[in-house]
Amino acid sequence: MTNQNSASPASAPDVVKQRPPRILSGIQPSGQLTIGNYLGALKQWAALQSQYDSFYCIVDMHAITVPQDPAELREASVRNAALYLACGLETKHCTIFIQSHVSAHSELGWILNCMTPMGWLNRMTQFKDKSAKMQADSIGSGLFTYPTLMAADILLYQTDLVPVGDDQKQHVELTRDLAQRFNSMYGETFTIPNVMIPVAGARVMGLDTPTAKMSKSEKADGHAVFLLDPLDKVRKKIMRATTDSDRVIKFSTDPERAGVNNLLTIYQAFTERSREDIEAQFDSKGYGDLKKTVAEAVAEGLKPIQERYNQLMGEKGYIYEVLKKSADRANEVASTTLDLVRDRIGFVKPLR
Ligand code: AMP
Ligand code: TRP
C-alpha cells in the first residue's frame, strides 16, 4: 500500500479532452409525469441522445426535499426509468440511473453547500414558489439547498449541456456561477455547462389555468395531461381546456389569450411544424376544431409511449438491469471528478 497524497491527479481539462461532449439532466420521480415533462425535457433528451454521451437521472434525493411516502417513492423511481425508455431513450446512447445509487452526488452536494453564498440561494424563484405553498415549520433546509445538489449532479459529469424546461434555467445559471467560483478558488476543475431550452414546449401551461405552469403536483383534474392517462381522458381534458371569448387562433403573448396559445404550442411541439403553417391550418376555424385537432395529435403522440411503457413494466428485471449497469458507469465517471475535487480542497486521500 502506498500513500498517494503527493501524486497530482489528472486535471479537468485533461479529462475533458479525452471524451465526447456530455449531457446531463434529471426529473424528480413521480408515477405521473406530464406532457410538460415530456415536451420540456424528455422529448429533447431523446432527440439529442445520439450526438452526446448522455446521463439522465431519476433524482430521488431531490424528491425527498418535500415529504414522500417511501413505498410510493420506490415505485415511482422504477416507473420513471420505464418512462424514460418508453419516451425513446436508448441504452446504447444513455446512462439512465437513480441519483441515490451514486453517492458522489451527496458528497459533492455537501462540499458545494459549504461554498454557496446564502444570498445566491435566496434568489431562487423555485424555492420561493414551493415554500410559499408550505407551512413554515415543515420546510426542510434541503428545499433551500436543492440547487446545490442539482449543481453537483451536473458538475460531477463534466457536463457540457443541460436540456431542461424554462423553469430550471435559473438553477443552471447558479451551477455555472458555482463552477466558475470553484475553478477560480481551486484551479480548473469543472466544465462550465450550458443550458438548453426547447423552442416549443419550454413552458407548457395548465389546461385549466393557462397562466400557471403545468405541474405534476397540481391536484385539479383538468390541469395536467399525464403521459399515462387513458387516451380518452387525454382527449376529454383537452376538449375542456380554458380558452377565451375571442375567436382568434394565433400564437400570442397576451395573458388573455394564454389558453389558445398553450394549445397551439402543445400542437407545435407534438407535430414539430412551423407556427406559420399551424396558424394557416386554423385560419377561419373555431376553438372546437382546434381542441379536437390538438387532442388527436397528443393522443397519437402518447399512444406509442404508453404501449412501450406497458411492455417494459412487464419486464421489470430488464429495468433493474439497466439501472445497475448505468449506476456502475455513472459511479465511475462521478468518482473521477469527486477525487479531483477532494484533492483540490485539501482532503487527505484515503489509503487504498
Ligand atoms: P420536474 O417535474 O420539476 O422534476 O421537472 C423535470 C423537467 O421537466 C425539467 O426539465 C422541467 O423544466 C421540465 N418541466 C416540468 N414541467 C414543465 C412544463 N410545464 N413545461 C415545460 N417543461 C416542464
Ligand atoms: N431540479 C430539476 C427539476 O425539478 C430536476 C433536476 C435535478 C435536474 N438535478 C438536475 C435537472 C440536473 C437537470 C440537471 O426539474
pLDDT of the chain along its 352 residues, tens only?
333 333 344 445 555 556 889 999 999 998 789 999 999 999 999 999 999 999 999 999 999 999 999 999 999 999 999 999 999 999 999 999 999 999 999 999 999 999 999 999 999 999 999 999 888 888 999 999 999 999 999 999 999 999 998 899 999 999 999 999 999 999 999 999 999 998 888 899 999 999 999 998 888 999 999 999 999 999 999 999 999 988 899 999 999 999 999 999 999 999 999 999 999 999 999 999 999 999 999 999 999 999 999 999 999 999 999 999 999 999 999 999 999 999 999 999 988 7
Residues catalogued as catalytic: 130, 213, 216
What is the per-residue pLDDT for 35? Answer: 97
Q: How many CB atoms lie within 10 A of CB 140?
A: 14
Three cell numbers at 150?
442539482
Nearest atom in ligand 2 to the alpha carbon of residue 165 is: 15
Which regions of the chain carry the CATH code 3.40.50.620? Answer: 12-202+315-345
Residue nearest to atom 8 of ligand 2 (CA): 26
Q: Ligand 2 pocket, 161 CB below 6 A?
A: no
Out of 23, 24, 25, 27, mutate this one to test ligand 1's pocket (max ligand atoms within 8 Å of CB): namely 27
Residue 59 CA, closest ligand 1 atom number: 4
For the 12-202+315-345 domain, the top CATH level (class) is: alpha beta
| 226 CA to centre of ligand 1 in angstroms | 12
C-beta of 162 in contact with ligand 2 (< 6 A): yes
Query: Could you tell me if 56 and 84 are in contact, meaning their C-beta atoms sit under 8 angstroms apart?
Result: yes
User: Biggest alpha carbon distance in the chain?
Assistant: 79
DSSP letters along 72-119, please? HHHHHHHHHHHHHHHTT--TTTEEEEEGGG-THHHHHHHHHHHTS-HH
Question: What is the model's pLDDT at position 15?
Answer: 53
Question: Among the atoms of ligand 1, which is closest to the Cα of residue 206?
Answer: 19
Q: Is 36 in the pocket of ligand 1 (CB under 6 A)?
A: yes
Q: Where in the chain is the domain with CATH 1.10.240.10?
A: 231-312
Distance, C-alpha 264 to centroid of its chain = 23
Q: Ligand 2 pocket test: which of 25, 64, 156 has the largest number of ligand atoms within 8 Å of its C-beta?
A: 25
In 3D space, the residue among 2, 30, 55, 69 whose CA is nearest the CA of residue 334 turns out to be: 55
Distance CA 233, CA 25 (A): 29
* pTM, entire model: 0.91
- CB distance 258 to ligand 1 below 6 Å: no
Asked whether 268 lines ligand 2 (CB < 6 A), one says: no
Is 26 touching ligand 2 by the criterion CB < 6 Å?
Answer: yes
Q: How many CB atoms lie within 10 A of CB 346?
A: 7
Residue where the block lists cell 395573458: 255
- How is residue 234 written as a grid cell? 387525454
| Residue 280 to residue 96: CA distance in whole angstroms | 40
DSSP state, residue 346: T
Residue pointed to by grid coordinates 433551500: 144
Architecture of domain 231-312: Orthogonal Bundle (1.10)
User: What confidence score (pLDDT) does residue 16 get?
Assistant: 57
